[in-house]
A and B are shown apart, each in its own frame.
Chain A
Amino acid sequence: MEGEGTATGRQRRATASQLDQWTVQDQVFKIYGAFASIPRSAQSVILELQRDKHVEYLTRGLQQLGPSFVVLDAKCVLLPSSFDLGFATGSCTQLLYLGNQLTMNWRIMPSTFLAVVRIQMVAMGVDQGRQVAETFALYWIGRRMVAVLWMHDAGEIDVRACYTAISVASILNILDDELAKGVGNYILSCQTYEGGIAGEPGSEAHGGYTFCGLAAMVLINQANSLDLASLIDWVAFRQGVECGFQGRTNKLVDGCYSFWQGGVFALLQRLPAFGGEGFGTSDVEVEWVSDSTSEGDDEDRDSSDDNEALHPEPDQEGHQSSSHSPESSTAVHIHHSRHNQLEPLFHTMALQQYIVLCSQEQEGGFRDKPGKARDYYHTCYCLSGLSVCQYSRSKNENSPPLPTSVLGPYSNLLEPIHPLYNVVSRQYHDAREFFSKY
């Protein structure tokens, strides 16, 4: 920012925002500068994802968390589910699914949310009895939780709560009109003059809430009610010279926004409004037709059915008949297995660069920014963001990305995540199928 500003009224004294920004910028550019000056062979090593170290870091946490983790005690259901995720598939990508929940803290909601995830994972392979019991317990909790949400308990409502409730209901297959009622209008009222979405009406546009808000709107089929042009403009400008994303205008870069902001692009890419093949019909009720276009969701489907070449009618795209229950009349079943080949609207290689060079710790784990300590939350969201980048040009989740989409060695490739839920796609499909039976 040196030398910028016009002759008239040039600011003499640097403000707190500027000083903070320049400090971080210097640190980051030092890292990039050092990287650029080393030989190619050394660069390749630095760009490697330290998979083993990350797994080691996570494993230690899975076994036991130190006493300082009492701050997460209230959400004790959260942690087990997060780690289950990570190890069910053996990939780093799923760890601390929605670690954001650790700080979200909305009564039982986050716990329930993560519990759902755990149930999904556990249900995939453990004893039947427990499976059934847990499923019904979850169903009951889910309905009650939703009732709590709509009681508007003393102002603890915010956009995260909307997202948590809607996404849980969606996975449990209990999303219906009653649940979605009012959510759309509320989230709409949270989109600010900047274009991003805030936690509450009037608050500042923020990456975490923008993701939650957009994801919730997609789930209830109201994404087009938002001013998408201004939303995308706001998100695009959240990627700074450091290559990573900031959470709010004029604030500092942070690795976790790799997912919150990067994930917004993953969602946007699939919207019909942006040339995506979408999640479903924009403003009309979801039609209960069997989806002839998605892959891997329906076991009955002939796997030789290669539908990629087909051009499905827009209003059939992305739907699947689920076990139809009266309450689920407007439930939207999200597929993202078929999405467009639109170039991602952010700089995916730059973001990968920030994640790998600035957030990754060689000893395992990821951090907010250089100088900050690693933690499980950042580890989760940096990896999720990395996955989003790698798959940002993929035609569908089943076709592997080209090497040009992956920064560093191709072995850096992660599992694809489902951008609406931030779980590994494969497991999402399994869980959805599981719950659709009830």
Chain B
Amino acid sequence: MNWEEDEEKLLPSQRPEWSDVSPLPQDDGPNPVVPIAYKPEFAETMDYFRAVYRADERSPRALQLTHQAILLNPGNYTVWHFRRLILETLSKDLQQELDYVSKIAEKNSKNYQIWHHRRWLAEKLGPDAAGRELKFTEKILSGDAKNYHAWSHRQWVLQSLGGWDDELEYCHQLLEEDIFNNSAWNQRYFIITKSPLLGGLQAMRESEVKYTVAAILANPENESPWRYLRGLYKDDPKSWIHDPQVSTLCLKVLTSSGTNHVFALSTVLDLLSHGLQPSRELREAVDTLNPASSRLDSQENSSSTKDSLGNTICSVLEHADAMRVNYWRWRKSQLIV
């Protein structure tokens, strides 16, 4: 399908097959505000589009016209909508239409209409389209690993059409390439919670915790795995506070020098608020990070109670994570005394 031919550049008024149609001009009223200075070819194409749209003419020539309108403005949702109506009426080959939209998508990977059109097509084609759609999103993601539309589409494909088999492995590959890719972590969460091939969150938790801990230790400043780790215990704080892997991890990070401690401290703070009984080592590790001045206050210094440990952590964070000083002060005020 090679539609960048000269033939394509002929405007409707120059084509004999359109001679029976009266173009319908845009009516913005007598005093349009913020008018767009349309180029003549745009205005004319849209005038003819308006005419066929109003007449609800679902013909091959109308289909062609929607293509020209799309080239001029792929964001016009009315044109895409009408194109879909024509495709249905004419019982067009939808695989070919996928070829078409793939081409348009090359330069418009963040266009909502294109992705929506793809979803509509894939839904009509059914499970057979799964492989192609996964391949397509993979291609987009190889150029833009965090493209929101691509990820949404991919998730929709998996849930509606299937194809889960290699998804976890795919996710792992992306994380190997970029352990900071939060979209890949998000996808991983999606897979372990939703995949019919896996056992669900609780069944997967053990192995996932191991995976996540390794990622954190490699880059403790990476926020993504910290949030992921917390997510593994969503709605189950008891398991979270009792899992030795979690507190061990925090201790490890807190006792490493030259390391970002913010997420470890934040995690311990949350664990405490859910009832964690901190070990002596954990208390000591936090105390070590405490700025010297607050050691004058024996109550904070000893961290003899869970609450004063929380207090100490907030104090440390007010300095170590100064951008969020207001947040940590507020967290401190929320601690149960």
List chain A positions with a Cβ less than 8 A from chain B.
1, 3-11, 15-18, 61-67, 69-74, 76, 79-80, 82-84, 103-107, 154-156, 192-195, 199-200, 202-206, 232-234, 236-237, 239-241, 243, 248-251, 342-347, 350
Contacts and interface: CB of A to CB of B under 8 A. Distances in A.
B1 interface: no
Nearest to A200: B152
A345 B75 contact: no
B258 interface: yes
Nearest to B110: A103
Contact of B324 (A16, A234, A347): A347
Contacts of B266: 233
Interface in B292-337: 323-327, 329-330
A83 B81 CA distance: 28
Contact of B258 (A3, A65, A200): A3
B182 A239 contact: no
Given A10-B218, A202-B190, A154 B224 contact: no
Contacts of B220: 4-6
The dominant DSSP class at the B interface is helix
Contacts of B203: none
Most buried by A among B177, B183, B186: B186
A189 to B, nearest CB: 12
B119 interface: yes
Interface string B274-285: 000000000000
A240 B323 contact: yes
The dominant DSSP class at the A interface is loop
A76 B81 CA distance: 17
B222 interface: yes
Most buried by A among B76, B146, B221, B327: B327
B125 interface: no
Interface in B68-99: 72-79, 81
Given A17-B178, A105-B113, A250-B224, A203 B186 contact: yes
Contacts of A237: 223, 324
B217 A8 contact: yes
A140 B231 CA distance: 44
B34 A65 contact: yes
B36 A70 contact: yes
B224 A249 contact: yes
B73 A73 contact: yes
A226 to B, nearest CB: 14
Contact of B37 (A62, A65, A79): A65
Contacts of A15: 177-181
Given A105-B77, A202-B155, A202-B190, A17 B260 contact: no
B130 to A, nearest CB: 16
B170 interface: no
A204 B116 contact: no
B34 A236 contact: no
A105 to B, nearest CB: 5
B42 A70 contact: yes
Given A203-B152, A204-B151, A5 B186 contact: no
Contact of B76 (A8, A63, A73, A343): A73
Contacts of B120: 154-155
A239 B231 contact: no
A64 B326 contact: no
Contacts of A3: 258
A250 B227 contact: no
Contact of B260 (A4, A11, A71): A4
Contact of A5 (B46, B155, B218, B234): B218
A203 B146 CA distance: 11
A281 to B, nearest CB: 22
Contact of A84 (B33, B152, B223): B33
B330 A83 contact: no
B156 interface: yes
Contacts of B16: none
Nearest 10 interchain pairs by C-beta: A193-B231, A17-B180, A80-B33, A15-B178, A249-B182, A9-B218, A74-B76, A79-B34, A204-B186, A236-B327
A233 B145 CA distance: 25
A82 B34 CA distance: 9
B75 A105 contact: yes
Given A236-B324, A249-B182, A67 B37 contact: yes
B28 A239 contact: no
B223 A346 contact: no
Most buried by B among A192, A194, A205: A194
Given A6-B259, A232-B327, A233-B266, 6 more contacts: A63-B34, A103-B112, A155-B120, A202-B194, A251-B182, A346-B326
A344 B182 contact: no
14 contacts: A4-B258, A17-B178, A66-B36, A73-B36, A73-B46, A105-B75, A107-B81, A194-B186, A203-B155, A237-B223, A249-B182, A250-B182, A250-B222, A347-B325
A250 B263 CA distance: 14
B240 interface: no
